[in-house]
Amino acid sequence: MSGLKHFRIDFAICAAVLVLAFFYGGGAAVWLTAVLILLEIVFSFDNAAVNAKYLIRLNDFWQRMFLTVGVLVAVFGMRLVFPFIIVCTSGGISPVNALHLALEKGDPHTPGTYGYLLNEAHPSIAAFGGMFLLLLFLDFMFDQERELHWLTWIEKPLQRIGKLDMLSVVIGGILLLAASKFLAASDKVDTVLFSGLLGIVLYLAVGGLSSVMEGREEAKDSQLEEAASRGQQVLLAGKAALSMFFFLEVLDATFSFDGVIGAFAITPDPIVIMLGLGVGALFVRSMTIYLVRNGTLAEYKFLEHGAHWAIGALAIMLLLTIRFHLGEAVIGGIGIALIVAAWATSIQSNKNARAREGDDDATEGDDDAPEGDDEHDHTSTPAQNGATS
């Protein structure tokens, strides 16, 4: 029950949103909103697992900022404003006309409608998000300080070749060129190249800024250095936390691309999409906080690895969607499968570790028993000798 209490505010907001959906569009709007909420939660679990890895480094204040201000950015920024910007840019229309198109609820397969214009912009969105997520995945795999491996047969070789400086950027650039050459339509090549390059630049800029700010903050505060030397968790604050907060927002946005686009396959109504995906995003944020507060990443040690493999898979699938249609079930299903596999492997590993500890304790107990008998025999001998004498 304690786990459900953590989400009580989310359930209350969910109920209020479903009531609002009923007054907006009747029972059909309620049903579509509920479907979108469930889809966002299920397909974004990998997002929560990855966000938790970075959120655990922030103090309580910035965790609350992620859950409050960050939710506003996720709901209104990515689920409402972002589609309008894409439609205005790709369709060359004004925001007022974009709003009229959105409220018309036209078929996304009909040229000129809101959903159609958004789908037309998908190659650029896929290239941008694919490159950002790909670099995040590769940098994790190439990390030379990482000692724990999940899929050892592939993670260790990747870590060895990761000694080459900037290899993730090189691989990302090669895949971007291949995607623009073989996946993009002839009139979308320049768009895919530009968007993918923008994703690479943004990842390097935000990641670099985060590292610089973090280094300055640690150097400025000797207590952080002392805590780090004792092996304690160093929680970021100040400018370092602010830069990490921005990184989390960009990361969350890249995870949202496929969900926002895919939602138009369920309904062309942007209001219903914002309501459904917005509540789903709120649940995902709370799920992230829950993973951090309960130490789930530490308890299930391979969960972080599974989340990053899900990121890598999503990056490749986003690039493939430049040319091929991959349903939400495929995109979300693969990510969930990787997360569940990592979770199950972690449970089995914990069981094996406890079993080994039990065997070690039993062995130590067996080793102690003969020593106790020897001592008893040794101490009783003088008494027996004294009695005999």
In a domain? residue 128? yes
Q: What is the pLDDT of residue 158?
A: 92
In a domain, 139, yes or no: yes
C-alpha span between 252 and 246 (Å, rounded)? 10
Indicate whether 369 belongs to any domain: no
**pLDDT of 372 over the 80 cut:** no
Tokens 């569009």 identify what position? 25
| Position 368 in a domain | no
CB-based contacts of 293, cutoff 8 Å, min separation 6: 6
Of 100-104, 142-146, 357-361, 373-377, least confident by mean pLDDT is 373-377
Mean pLDDT across 114-132: 82
- Residue 92 backbone zone (phi > 0: left; psi -120 to 50: alpha; other: beta): left
**Up-side HSE of residue 258: CA atoms within 13 Å toward CB?**
32
* Domain total of the chain: 1
**pLDDT at residue 376, as a whole number:** 44
User: Which residue range(s) make up the domain with 189?
Assistant: 2-360
Determine the pLDDT at residue 155: 93
Hey, what are 347's tokens?
């449970």
Tell me the average pLDDT of the chain.
77
Tokens standing for residue 108: 């996304």
Q: Look at residue 216 and tell me whether its pLDDT is greater than 70.
A: no
pLDDT at 326: 79
> Per-residue confidence at 228, pLDDT binned at 50, 70, 90?
very low
- Other residues' Cβ atoms within 10 Å of the Cβ of residue 88: 17
Q: In DSSP terms, which residues pair with 257 in a beta bridge?
A: none
Is residue 301, in this structure, part of any structural domain at all?
yes
28 has pLDDT over 60 = yes
Residue 108, domain member (yes or no):
yes
Residue 373 lies in a domain: no
Neighbours of 65 (CB within 10 A): 17
Is 25 within a domain? yes
